[in-house]
């Protein structure tokens, strides 16, 4: 697993200050009315803080203590409040809590962690709730201009759909997208975008 504390210590806002474009697009859909969000692997909080600014009650989780501190600082600077938890998805438990949306944005991790994150997302979603995923993908076109070069940390749509069976798929997209997110996400990436809802 990469040393995310070191990466955040070396670089302020590595993915920029704006929310991820897919997060913004799904959360501004006419049919998105979630009032709470669990942001798994929320890093330095760009997505969670933006969702909190839209009035959602946000819980952000990340295994990097430095990222969580930065997320808290971002929340304060933005005048929002969010619950920030430093924890590893490998063993974090929701203790029966549930959310109306879950965002899983660029958690590039080994298959067991990805599977746990996706299954956990389904488990904690309230009926009618949204799961939103964007991540680098394993595609027939090979690696994108940037992103992990280790195929074992990449997603594909069948993997996501298997792990989230029972959800109603709203969008399941895979392809090349020009990303413009801070210094680390610059250029054309091969990615998946996935949005699905838990049936009521």
Ligand X SMILES: C[S@@+](CC[C@H](N)C(=O)[O-])C[C@H]1O[C@@H](n2cnc3c(N)ncnc32)[C@H](O)[C@@H]1O
Q: How far, in Å, CA of 22 to CA of 101, rounded?
A: 14
Nearer to ligand X, 4 or 32 (CB): 4
* Closer to ligand X by Cβ: residue 46 or 84: 46
DSSP structural state of residue 67: H
Compute the least distance from the CB of residue 41 to ligand X, in Å.
Answer: 3
CB atoms within 10 A of CB 75: 21
Strand, coil or helix: 22:
helix
Collapsing DSSP to helix, strand or coil, 35 comes out as coil
Residue 104 or 166: the one with the smaller Cβ distance to ligand X is 104
Q: Shortest distance, CB of residue 200 to ligand X, whole angstroms?
A: 28
Least separation in angstroms between CB 105 and ligand X: 4
- We find the least distance from the C-beta atom of residue 90 to ligand X, in angstroms, to be 5
Count of CB atoms situated within 10 Å of the CB of 144: 20
Query: Exposed (0-12), middle (13-18) or buried (19+): which is 184, by Cβ within 10 Å?
Result: middle
φ/ψ (deg, to 5) at 34:
-60, 140
**Binding region for ligand X (CB under 6 A):** 1, 4, 15, 20, 41-43, 46-47, 62-64, 67, 88-90, 105-107, 109, 113
* Distance in Å, CB of 35 to ligand X, minimum: 21
Q: Which is nearer to ligand X, 38 or 107 (CB)?
A: 107
Instruction: Quote the least distance from Cβ 127 to ligand X, whole Å.
Output: 25
Q: Quick check: 141 and 152 in contact, CB under 8 A? A: no
Q: Which is nearer to ligand X, 27 or 67 (CB)?
A: 67
Q: CB nearest ligand X: which residue?
A: 43
Radius of gyration of the chain measured on its C-alpha atoms: 15
Residue with structure tokens 């942001």? Answer: 39
Q: Which is nearer to ligand X, 24 or 176 (CB)?
A: 24
Query: What is the Cα–Cα distance from 192 to 179, expressed in whole angstroms?
Result: 12
């Amino acid at each position: 697993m990469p040393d995310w504390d070191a990466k955040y210590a070396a670089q302020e806002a590595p993915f920029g200050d704006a929310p991820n474009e897919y997060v913004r697009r799904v959360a501004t859909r006419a049919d998105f009315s979630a009032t709470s969000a669990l942001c798994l692997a929320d890093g330095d909080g760009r997505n969670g803080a933006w969702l909190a600014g839209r009035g959602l009650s946000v819980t952000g989780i990340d295994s990097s203590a430095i990222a969580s501190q930065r997320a808290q600082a971002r929340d304060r600077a933005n005048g929002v409040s969010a619950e920030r938890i430093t924890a590893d998805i490998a063993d974090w438990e929701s203790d029966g809590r549930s959310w109306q949306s879950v965002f899983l944005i660029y958690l590039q991790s080994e298959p067991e962690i990805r599977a746990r994150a996706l299954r956990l997302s389904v488990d904690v979603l309230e009926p009618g709730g949204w799961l939103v995923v964007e991540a680098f993908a394993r595609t027939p076109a090979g690696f994108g201009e940037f992103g992990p070069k280790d195929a074992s940390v990449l997603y594909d749509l069948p993997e996501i759909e298997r792990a989230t069976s029972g959800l109603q798929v709203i969008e399941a997209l895979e392809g090349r997208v020009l990303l413009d997110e801070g210094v680390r996400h610059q250029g054309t990436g091969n990615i998946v975008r996935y949005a699905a809802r838990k049936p009521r």
